[in-house]
A and B are shown apart, each in its own frame.
Chain A
């Protein structure tokens, strides 16, 4: 419990005492209770300071740490590999090998740029099919050499374009989902910024899925949802509430396994500290997952994927 939570608890106790006193003495102190409730609500607000829409803005901040910051802060001796051995190299996904602590890993991440030149080169982090096929090639390589795979998710979505459709965007994503469900080596995924739909999920089938505190993960962008279901793209902030796309909501829905703390105000305020927090979680998780036999790991991964969903029968 943090300071604010302790103060809220104190106020609750005070209100209870006053209510008991009111009952026993018959003296009306409802004004007191009301002012205490106001104080309590303010504290609750400061505990949950951000609306989903505000979190969307933080997740999309240009200055938010990207793949490069995390490679610098987390991975020792990173060596980048290129290409899907089929069509071309897609710069919207970066992949390679290196060490996280004592663990050799294969690292794969969506690559958003921080300035316009880099974003043009990297297509704003929106991959074409060859990006997903490069990712899958590197995952299969990791499986061969028994290296864990660490995937970072940061995309507004897979690219929507003619070439992407001609080369099978749907098939590329589908193939990743299928192969990742059965990859015989540990997989950890972390949503670091934006997790946009199928293009994000294609790096997100894992033994453990984490989100940074102010990252978002959604079936559709709030703007898209607003324009389709609310018939007004301007109502995106409202749609952001409905979609349950924040880390807290998704932990509650059991879509993710954990939340990684960000510095106050957001990851952009201290990229190094954020990377340190992520690194600690990765090392703890690698320690845990590398102790499990590959057979059990894959079985448990299946059960975990299989258990997501809410229905009645």
Chain B
């Protein structure tokens, strides 16, 4: 693949300092007008400076160290499902503020405006290389992908529709857990979605849970851990309790690999780790075997 960086940077010799726009403006030798810092992204894992266009064409995976950047729900849908095959469910469902939790209504309003979606999960029906599934894709940027009443209801309805349509389900998890601002209503969604998963399972249908960075708390302790098949992206954080909480409880530093996909694979809680550029193909292959369709007929 030809990369943009190869066209105008001699990688061997080039060193590039990451600077903020404000720093550039202060430096008299640099004309800030001519440098667009939005063109580059620094990899949080290896520190490599990546050209955004290259990063995008590599599905937001670092070209040097394979770090999988977090991606939004709509980006995930774009790279997973066939173009033009998507039928969205319950797009108008919105959260209320049943506990009258301070600042919650404002937060919901400003997030749905800035992200252009109403809640932390997108659900629907789509095709993966021609094979039908119902799906849920969580949005990690919407209050940390946390689960309140709407996330629970949308996912439960999606599982119920999948039962009616006799379709498998794929859920991309990314969540900080149950949403504090809806209190016990949020916690109850864990039971609600798990009950819907059970119903779907009782109907003999396949549920694939795909765990992406980060999946913790009440989502780990419900549908994320309940797939017939559980796949994770490399080095995603997966766990129940937060790392900081555990460190405070046991008064020790935890090793870096603790609560990663690799850790969960080793301990027997996920089936496989799949890189982002192989995800669509892997899902398709698993679906194919469940449908008993060999080849592409």
- The reply to whether the CB of A161 lies closer than 8 angstroms to some CB of chain B is yes
Q: Which residues of A contact B225 (CB under 8 A)?
A: 168, 170-171, 174-175
Cross-chain contact A162 with B269 (CB below 8 angstroms): no
CA distance A160 to B195 in the complex (A): 25
Most buried by A among B98, B202, B259: B98
Q: How many A-B contacts at CB < 8 Å in the complex? A: 184
Q: Which of the segments A4-12, A41-49, A133-141, A217-225 contacts the partner chain?
A: A217-225
Identify the interface centre among B99, B184, B199, B267: most chain A CB within 10 Å of its CB: B184
In the complex, are the beta carbons of B249 and A311 less than 8 A apart? no
B188 touches A305 (CB 8 A): yes
Cβ of A201 < 8 Å from any Cβ of B? Answer: yes
Contact A177 B222 (CB under 8 A): yes
Number of A residues, CB within 8 Å of B: 50
Contact with A along B213-248 (1 / 0, CB 8 A): 000011011111110000000000011111001100
Most A CB within 10 A of own CB, among B92, B195, B239:
B195
Inside 8 A of A181's CB, which chain B residues have their CB? Answer: 191, 194-195, 198
Q: Is the CB of A177 within 8 A of B195?
A: yes
User: What's the Cα separation between A158 and B218 when bound, in Å?
Assistant: 12
Q: Whose C-beta in chain A lies nearest to the C-beta of B230?
A: A171
Assess whether A253 is interfacial by the CB under 8 Å rule: yes
B186 interface residue per 8 A CB criterion: yes
Determine which of B90, B183, B240 lies in contact with A219 in the assembled complex, contact meaning CB atoms within 8 Å.
B183
State whether the Cβ of A243 lies closer than 8 Å to any Cβ in chain B: yes
For chain B, give the interface size range. 35 or more
Docked-complex contact A311 and B178, CB < 8 angstroms: no
Q: Which chain B residues border A171 with CB–CB below 8 Å?
A: 220-221, 225, 269
Instruction: Assess whether A201 is in contact with B190, with CB atoms less than 8 Å apart.
Output: yes
A228 to B187, CA, bound (A): 17
Give 23 A-B contacts (CB < 8 Å), ordered by A residue: A160-B241, A160-B242, A160-B249, A162-B250, A162-B254, A166-B267, A168-B267, A169-B240, A171-B221, A174-B222, A174-B225, A179-B198, A182-B198, A197-B218, A198-B218, A205-B194, A225-B180, A255-B188, A302-B195, A308-B188, A309-B185, A309-B188, A311-B150
Residues of chain A whose beta carbon lies under 8 Å from any beta carbon of chain B: 158, 160-162, 164-171, 173-175, 177-182, 197-198, 201-202, 204-205, 217-220, 225, 228-229, 242-245, 250, 253, 255, 302, 305-306, 308-313
